[in-house]
Amino acid sequence: MSKQDNKDNKDKLRVYEYAKSLNMSSKEIITILKRLNIPVNNHMSVMENDAVSKVEGFFRDIKANAAAKRSGSENAPASPPATQSAPTQPAASTQPTSSKQIASVSAKPQNTQPQGQKDGGNTLTQSKPTQQSQPNRQRDGQSSQPPRDSRNSNHSQSRNQDQRNKPQGNQGTKPQGNSNGQQRQGKPFQSNGNTTQATRPQNHGNSVPTQTPNKFNGNSGKQVDEGEEFVSVTKSTTAAPKKTKPTNKRFDDNKTSNFKGNQGGYNNRGGNRNNRGRNQQPQVQREKIDNTPKKIIVRGNMTVGETAKLLHKDASEVIKKLIFLGVMATINQELDLETIQLLASEFKVEVEIKIPVEEDRFETVEENDDEADLKTRPPVVTIMGHVDHGKTTLLDAIRSTNVTSGEAGGITQHIGAYQVEINSKKITFLDTPGHEAFTTMRARGAEVTDITIIVVAADDGVMPQTVEAINHAKAANCPIIVAVNKIDKPGANADKVKQELTEYELVPEEWGGDTIFVNLSAKHRTNLEELLEMILLVAEVNDYKANPDKRARGTVIEAELDKGRGPVVRLLVQHGTLKVGDAFVAGNCFGRVRAMVNDKGRRLKEAGPSTPVEITGLTEVPLAGDPFMGFEDERKARSIAERRAITHRQSELNANTRVTLDDLFKHIKDGEIKDLNVIIKGDVQGSVEALKGSLAKIEVEGVRVKIIHSGVGALTESDIILAAASNAIVIGFNVRPDNQAKLTAEQEKVDVRLHRVIYSVIEEIEQAMKGMLDPEYRENVIGHAEVRNIFKINKMAIAGCMVTSGKIARAAEVRVIREGIVIFEGKIDSLKRFKDDAKEVAQGYECGITIERFNDIKELDIIEAFVMEAVERK
Give the residue numbers of the binding site.
385-392, 431-435, 485-488
Task: Quickly count: other Cβ atoms within 10 Å of residue 237's Cβ.
Answer: 23
Contact pick of 109, 181, 390, 682 for ligand GTP (by CB under 6 A): 390
Rounded least distance, CB 526 to ligand GTP, Å: 8
16 within 8 A of 41, measured Cβ to Cβ: no
Angstrom distance (rounded) from CA 520 to CA 528: 7
Q: Is 556 in the site for ligand GTP (CB under 6 A)?
A: no
Binding residues with ligand GTP: total (CB under 6 A): 16
Rounded to 5 degrees, φ, ψ at 15 are -55, -45
Stretch touching ligand GTP by CB under 6 A, among 16-24, 386-394, 709-717, 762-770 = 386-394
Stretch that binds ligand GTP, among 138-146, 198-206, 384-392, 804-812 (CB under 6 A): 384-392
Which of 85, 521, 574, 588 is close enough to bind ligand GTP by CB under 6 A?
521
Provide, rounded to whole angstroms, the least separation between the CB of residue 381 and ligand GTP. 15
- Which is nearer to ligand GTP, 106 or 393 (by Cβ)? 393
Backbone angles phi, psi at 323, to 5 degrees: -60, -40
The span from the CA of 540 to the CA of 272, in Å, is 69
Q: How far is the CB of 645 from ligand GTP (least distance, A)?
A: 35
- Residues in binding site for GTP: 385-392, 431-435, 485-488
CB of 394 to ligand GTP, least distance (A): 7
- CB hemisphere CA count around 34 (13 angstroms): 15
Comparison of 309 and 489: residue with beta carbon closer to ligand GTP: 489
**Among 60-68, 213-221, 391-399, 469-477, which window interacts with ligand GTP (CB under 6 A)?**
391-399
Smallest separation, CB 710 to ligand GTP (Å) = 22
Rounded to an integer, what distance in angstroms lies between the CA atom of residue 202 and that of residue 116?
6
388 binds ligand GTP (CB under 6 A): yes
Tally: H helices and E strands in the chain: 31, 32
Q: How far apart are the first and last CA of the chain?
A: 48
DSSP 546: E
Distance CA 260, CA 267 (A): 9
**Which residue's CB is nearer to ligand GTP, number 390 or number 609?**
390
Asked if 387 touches ligand GTP (CB under 6 A), the answer is yes
Could you tell me which residues come within 8 angstroms of residue 382 by beta carbon, excluding any fewer than 6 positions away? 429, 430, 433, 438, 448, 449, 451, 452, 453, 478
Other CB atoms closer than 10 Å to residue 678's CB: what's the count?
23
Per-residue binder mask for ligand GTP (CB under 6 A), 617-656, x = binder: ----------------------------------------
Name every residue whose Cβ is closer than 8 Å to that of residue 204 and which is 6 or more positions away in sequence.
Answer: 85, 101
Decide: is 392 part of the binding site for ligand GTP (CB under 6 A).
yes
Q: Which is nearer to ligand GTP, 489 or 832 (CB)?
A: 489
Spatial separation of the C-alpha atoms in residues 56 and 49, rounded to whole Å: 10
Site string for ligand GTP, 326-355 (x = CB under 6 A): ------------------------------
Q: Closest approach of Cβ 455 to ligand GTP, in Å? A: 6
Our finding on whether 139 is near ligand GTP (CB under 6 A) is no
Smallest gap from residue 62 Cβ to ligand GTP (A): 56
Q: Which of residues 459-498 bind ligand GTP (CB under 6 A)?
A: 485-486, 488-489
C-alpha 225/C-alpha 223 separation (Å) is: 5
Least distance CB 433 / ligand GTP (angstroms): 5
| Strand, helix or coil for residue 121 | helix
| Residue from 681, 692, 757 nearest 716 by CA | 681
Closer of 315 and 469 to ligand GTP (Cβ): 469
Which residue lies nearer to ligand GTP by CB, 522 or 641? 522
User: For residue 483, what are the contacts with CB-CB under 8 A and spacing of at least 6?
Assistant: 383, 385, 394, 453, 454, 455, 456, 518, 520, 522, 531
Instruction: For residue 537, give the H/E element and its range.
Output: helix 528-542
706-765 positions binding ligand GTP, by CB under 6 A: none
Identify residues 408-437 at the interface with ligand GTP (CB under 6 A).
Answer: 433
Provide the minimum distance between the beta carbon of 518 and ligand GTP in the complex, in angstroms, as a whole number.
Answer: 12
- Among residues 242, 248, 72, the alpha carbon closest in space to that of 156 is found at 248
Compare residues 307 and 521 and give the one whose CB is closer to ligand GTP: 521
Closest CA to 428 of 539, 522, 527: 539
Q: Is 530 in the site for ligand GTP (CB under 6 A)?
A: no
DSSP state of 122: S
Judged by CB under 6 A, the residue of 136, 178, 254, 393 near ligand GTP is: 393
What is the Cα–Cα distance from 130 to 142, expressed in whole angstroms? 19
Shortest separation between residue 431's beta carbon and ligand GTP, angstroms:
12
Cβ 452 vs Cβ 382: under 8 Å: yes
Q: Minimum distance between the CB of residue 389 and ligand GTP, rounded to whole angstroms?
A: 5
Query: Per CB under 6 A, which region of 178-186, 226-234, 381-389, 649-657 contacts ligand GTP?
Result: 381-389
Pick the stretch among 307-315, 423-431, 519-527, 751-759 that binds ligand GTP (CB under 6 A).
519-527
Q: Between 392 and 639, name the residue whose CB sits nearer to ligand GTP.
A: 392
Shortest Cβ 487–ligand GTP spacing (Å): 7
Please identify, using beta-carbon distances, which residue of 380 and 522 lies nearer to ligand GTP: 522
User: Could you say which of 184, 321, 377, 391 contacts ligand GTP (CB under 6 A)?
Assistant: 391
| Pattern 573-612, ligand GTP, x by CB under 6 A | ----------------------------------------
User: 388 or 746, CB closer to ligand GTP?
Assistant: 388
Spatial separation of the C-alpha atoms in residues 669 and 23, rounded to whole Å: 39
Query: Please, what is the minimum distance in Å from the beta carbon of residue 385 to ligand GTP?
Result: 6
Nearer CB in complex with ligand GTP: 312/489: 489
Cross-strand partners of 743: none
CB of 523 to ligand GTP, least distance (A): 3
With respect to ligand GTP, which residue has the nearer C-beta, 154 or 440? 440
> 568 has which bridge partners?
560, 616
The interface with ligand GTP within residues 67-86 (CB under 6 A) comprises none
For 45, list phi and psi in degrees, rounded to 5.
Answer: -60, 145
Query: Rounded CA gap, 362 and 627, in Å?
Result: 8
Q: Which residue number, 395 or 712, has a Cβ lying nearer to ligand GTP?
A: 395
Nearer to ligand GTP, 343 or 557 (CB): 557
C-alpha distances (whole Å) from 473 to each of 439, 443, 511, 745, 748 are 9, 13, 22, 21, 20
Contact status: 522 vs ligand GTP (CB under 6 A)? yes
Q: What angle do CA 332, 334, 337 make, to 5 degrees?
A: 145
Phi, psi of 46 (to 5 degrees): -80, 135
CB 397 within 8 A of CB 518: no
Q: Which of 556, 460, 554, 546 is nearest to 500 (CA)?
A: 460
Q: How far apart are CA 10 and CA 540, in angstroms?
A: 12
d(Cα 116, Cα 227) in Å, to the nearest integer?
A: 8
SS3 298: strand
Compute CA 176 distance to the chain's CA centroid, rounded to the nearest angstrom.
57
Query: At its nearest, how many Å lie between ligand GTP and the CB of residue 639?
Result: 42
Q: Closer to ligand GTP by CB, 71 or 392: give it.
A: 392
Binding site for ligand GTP (CB under 6 A): 385, 387-393, 433, 485-486, 488-489, 521-523
